[in-house]
Amino acid sequence: MLPLPLVLILAVVLFGAGFALEVLWWAALVVLVVLVVRLPGFPVRSGGGRRYR
C-alpha cells in the first residue's frame, strides 16, 4: 500500500515541475521578444542608433 501514495505524490510533483518549466519557457520567450522589440530604442555607446526621449 505504501508505493501507491508515493507514485501519486511523484506524479503530482513531476506534473507540477513540468507545468512550472512550461510557464518559465513562455516567460523567457516573452522577455526575449520584449528585448528584441525594445533593443533598437536603447542608445548605443558608439553614438549610432536611434535615441528616443
User: CA separation (Å) from 45 to 13, 38, 42, 48?
Assistant: 47, 16, 10, 7
In the block, residue with C-alpha cell 500500500: 1
Whether the model pTM is above 0.75: no
Alpha-carbon span 44 to 50, nearest angstrom: 8
Decide: helix, strand or coil at residue 47: coil
Task: Name the one residue in this structure whose C-alpha cell is 510533483.
Answer: 13
pLDDT per residue as tens digits for the range 1-53:
567 788 888 888 888 888 888 888 888 889 888 877 877 666 555 555 566 66
Give the separation between CA 21 and CA 15, rounded to whole angstroms.
Answer: 10
pLDDT of residue 4: 79
Residues 49 and 40 sit within 8 Å (Cβ to Cβ) = yes
